Every structure is written in structure tokens, then in C-alpha cells.
């Protein structure tokens, strides 16, 4: 049996032409936007899109607009050849791999800001980050014209911001948030896990997951005060990784991102922690 052929597209005009031709044939198009260096979490999103779409477009683009000058854009891991092979194995049909100058030509001046949701949590720590995220995803939506877009719950604030943008701008796109995929020991899969270069760093990175599990257990025991939960989570993180620096541990409504002081239905606990030179994020639905 011949192996499945996958299309690699690098120009906006070619991608537009193909997506319109597919739509003209009545094909339902799914999009999975990524920054590459794919892991099982990304591949699970392709699998989710395949359940309801005829053609899956996976985009690979390390987006400079969502990195601050002091962040890791230059060293962000890249493996285009390996990514394409993984996408093919996972059942993807088209890989859109534009160059930065294709997406952001010299004359580029238009950006999208989702105001309230972009100012909290990650947005507070990384000003301008979600402006870059919203801009690139809006542009990808305009180019690919998908019927469905699939994102992961690990970046739940990103999903909230992009869901808001999708509704506000009237994109006819079904927005799907798929569950976080984890390693066997609970660490959330992330391209940045590659930076955990020693066995000790990898072990200590589990402090995020263990703190979230601590929060979940406390809620199950009817301890709902977020200040109390926060204190225990902080202790757990520093017990596992004494050198960890916590950017935030937050408790928010999953839909509005409003902060909550008492855990209720729809409360997400999210956290961002810097350890051994690596910044990791994770979250869990508490109730």
C-alpha cells in the first residue's frame, strides 16, 4: 500500500488557492496551528480534528510577534523535517510552513488585541504576547479559511483569548479545546521540556503537576478557599524544587477568566513556574 502523500505549502497565495478549491469541493477543513517541534500533545490535536474534518491543515510557524525581546525566540526548538514526518504519521494532509517575511512583510502594521482576557495571567507577565498570538491566528484563519480549529487545554488562557477573538470577529470556525496530554509521570507535554537538560531538572519539573494535584485533592476534601490552597501549592512547589520561582498561581473562571476566591464549578487553577532556566505552565480544572 502506497504511503499517504502530504502537501507542503510555503506561500500564502498557494495556501489560499488550495483552501478555496477544497471548500469548493465541499471538504470540511480543520486547522491545527503550531510553532513546530511537535510532540504527542500536538499529534493528539490532529487526531481530534480528523474526527470531524475531511482535510487537516497543520501550520508550523515560530511567531516572532508573540515573543518579547528578552524571551527565547532565537533558541526556540525547531525540527521541520521531523515535524513533517510526525504530521504525516498522524494523518495530517497539508503542512503550511510560511517564512516570517511571508507572514510579516516589511510594510506590516496591523495587529489584533483582545483586551480584557489578554491582560491577565500570562498577559500580565508577558505584555504583548497575546497580541502576537491573536494576530497570527487571525491571519491563519484568513488564509486557510478552516471550518474547525483545534487547540490544547494546556494553554487554556490562549484558548480563551482566541475563542473570544473568533466570536468577536465573526469567524465561521468551530473552536475545539482538546485535553492536555501528559507524560506518564504527569508532566504536561511541551516543546520547552527539551530545555530540562538534567535528570534532576526533569524530576523537579514535576512540582507543577504535583501542586495542581494537591489543589485538586484539597477541593475534593471540600477545602475551597483559594488562599489556603495557594499556600499549600506554594509549599509543595518549593519542597520539590527549592530554587523554583513562581510567576503566578491563579484561580479563575474558565469562561470569563475572572479571579475567584472560593472554588466553584468551572474554576481553573493555572500556574507558571521558572526552574533551572526553564519557564513552564500548566493548569487543571478544579471543579
Looking only at Cα atoms, what is the longest distance across the chain? 59
Which residues are CB-neighbours of 96 under 8 A, at least 6 positions away?
A: 9, 10, 15, 57, 58, 59, 60, 61, 140, 143, 144
Residue 60 belongs to what H/E stretch?
strand 55-60
CA distance 16 to 18: 5
* Count of positions (residues) in the chain: 287
Q: Which grid coordinates belong to 256? A: 470569563
Is 42 considered catalytic here? yes
Which residues are CB-neighbours of 56 under 8 A, at least 6 positions away?
A: 29, 30, 31, 32, 46, 49, 50, 91, 92, 93, 94
Which of these is catalytic: 42, 129, 238, 276?
42
Answer for the pair 117, 257: CB distance below 8 angstroms, yes or no. Answer: yes
CA distance 174 to 253: 22
Q: Report, as residue numbers or ranges, the catalytic residues.
A: 42
Amino acid at each position: 500500500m502506497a504511503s499517504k502523500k502530504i502537501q507542503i505549502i510555503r506561500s500564502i497565495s498557494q495556501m489560499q488557492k488550495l483552501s478555496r478549491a477544497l471548500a469548493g469541493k465541499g471538504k470540511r477543513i480543520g486547522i491545527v496551528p503550531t510553532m513546530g517541534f511537535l510532540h504527542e500533545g500536538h499529534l493528539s490535536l490532529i487526531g481530534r480534528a480528523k474526527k470531524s474534518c475531511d482535510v487537516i491543515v497543520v501550520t508550523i510557524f515560530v511567531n516572532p510577534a508573540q515573543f518579547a525581546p528578552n524571551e527565547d525566540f532565537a533558541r526556540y526548538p525547531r525540527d521541520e523535517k521531523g515535524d513533517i514526518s510526525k504530521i504525516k504519521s498522524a494523518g495530517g494532509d497539508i503542512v503550511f510552513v510560511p517564512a516570517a517575511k511571508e507572514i510579516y512583510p516589511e510594510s506590516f502594521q496591523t495587529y489584533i488585541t483582545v483586551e480584557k482576557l489578554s491582560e491577565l495571567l500570562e498577559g500580565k507577565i508577558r505584555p504583548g504576547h497575546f497580541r502576537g498570538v491573536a494576530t497570527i491566528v487571525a491571519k491563519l484563519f484568513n488564509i486557510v479559511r478552516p471550518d474547525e480549529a483545534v487547540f490544547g487545554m494546556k494553554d487554556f488562557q490562549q484558548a480563551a483569548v482566541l475563542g473570544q477573538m473568533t466570536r468577536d470577529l465573526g469567524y465561521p470556525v468551530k473552536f475545539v479545546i482538546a485535553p492536555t496530554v501528559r507524560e506518564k509521570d504527569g508532566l504536561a507535554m511541551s516543546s520547552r521540556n527539551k530545555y530540562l537538560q538534567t535528570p534532576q531538572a526533569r524530576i523537579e519539573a514535576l512540582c507543577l503537576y504535583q501542586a495542581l494535584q494537591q489543589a485538586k485533592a484539597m477541593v475534593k476534601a471540600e477545602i475551597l478557599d483559594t488562599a489556603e490552597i495557594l499556600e499549600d501549592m506554594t509549599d509543595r512547589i518549593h519542597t520539590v524544587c527549592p530554587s523554583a520561582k513562581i510567576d503566578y498561581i491563579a484561580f479563575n473562571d474558565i469562561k470569563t477568566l475572572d479571579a475567584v476566591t472560593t472554588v466553584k464549578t468551572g474554576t481553573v487553577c493555572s500556574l507558571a513556574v521558572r526552574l533551572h532556566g526553564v519557564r513552564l505552565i500548566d493548569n487543571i480544572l478544579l471543579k
